[in-house]
Structure 1
Amino acid sequence: MSCLLSASSARAQTDVDSPLPFGPVHCAGEYQHHLQGVCTDNDQAIYWSFTTQLVKTDRQGQVLQQIPVANHHGDLCFAEGKLYVAVNLGKFNDPQGNADSWVYVYDAQTLDVLAKHEVQEVFHGAGGIGVHRDHFFVVGGLPDGVQENYVYEYDADFRFVNKHVIPSKWTQLGIQTATFHDGEWWFGCYGTPKILLKTDADFKLLGRYEFDCSLGIVGVGPQ
């Protein structure tokens, strides 16, 4: 699968001294699985997670590095020179919770693996991750018919802090992507139509929109 970064899937944030004109970015190459998430280093690089491939490109989409990764690497985020990727090695969306949820940490320059953190509290499978105030927030799968979504909060050392509930109504396979921007959380979901959820910093639901951010979502411009 080849991919396009655009307003319909994600938005690239760049430094104010060398702004990237807003528009589509093609990730060069073909990949076996579909895009799970994107993030940037707020400067020169875009990172793309393709389930079993982690790809680093420049701002024009030319590949700088790529590595094979375990199935299933999901959405990712950038913080302090590192990439944090939500990973599930078990089953997604299982009511019995047969997931195997992790966060893998990579060096953003080299894509070397730096750490692997268990996040087994993510009961239905870790699929997405965002960062806010040095805490990490992991989202993921959801069994059919469950009328709320869950966000699992961890501190900077990946000690479990809290499980937050979003009264979102059911979304197909839970939440795929997450980012915190302009004081609010944004969550991309599958479905027909695909759904974008917006909450405040405390996960109070502010909006539910028919808009596709299920393959990645990144803030644009200053916070």
Structure 2
Amino acid sequence: MSELIPTPWDKRAFGLETYEIQGLTENLLSSLDGIEGHFTIKVAPTVSKALLHRYGFYYCDTLIEPYCTYETFQPFYDPAVSITESVELAMLTEMCLNTFTYDRFHRDFKIDDEQADQRYVNWLTDLYHSGSVFGLRCNGNAAGFFAYKDGSILLHALSEQYRGKGLAKYFWSEACRALFSYDYHELSSSISAANLAILNVYSKLGFSFRNPVDVYHKVNAPAG
């Protein structure tokens, strides 16, 4: 079924088959009832959700895409803040725990928080081994991470002691400045529209926003 795309990286965390659905038709949605697994579909906010509700899907998040070019980038500087590519993985994965509370998996009432955390630990680990993670430092101390692929900003977090202090804009500035130095003309990301703190960080740095999508999930649990 070409409209049903397996997502094995999510299967590793959740212990059941996981899929992303490409397309919104009654024939496709009705065919899922005989398939065990966790299903994700992303649809434009203006599209009717009647079919999704009819076939057991439930709302989990609205995603928006921050994007910025070098010309519109407005960085902030703090001499105490730096980035490094030399950082221990174990130190970073600890920062994934109880951190991504706005994401669609932590908001999915059919997914345990521990499984949702593990999904991000797995993702960060894969990015780390591909050489696509900056460690964030404050006065030489580990403060967070910033993971990317090409010009896409994929995953980022600060450790608890650095949150809520207005520091993120300095860390993000250093990381984005490094990415622009790799000759990417545009940087983009994907964030929850409900996460106003990170939305404000991106806005301060000169990012604009586009491509909102509503995210719906459905779970067909294994029999028994």
Q: TM-score, normalised by structure 1?
A: 0.28
Identify the structure with the greater helix proportion.
2
Structure with the largest fraction of strand: 1
TM-score, normalized by length of structure 2?
Answer: 0.28
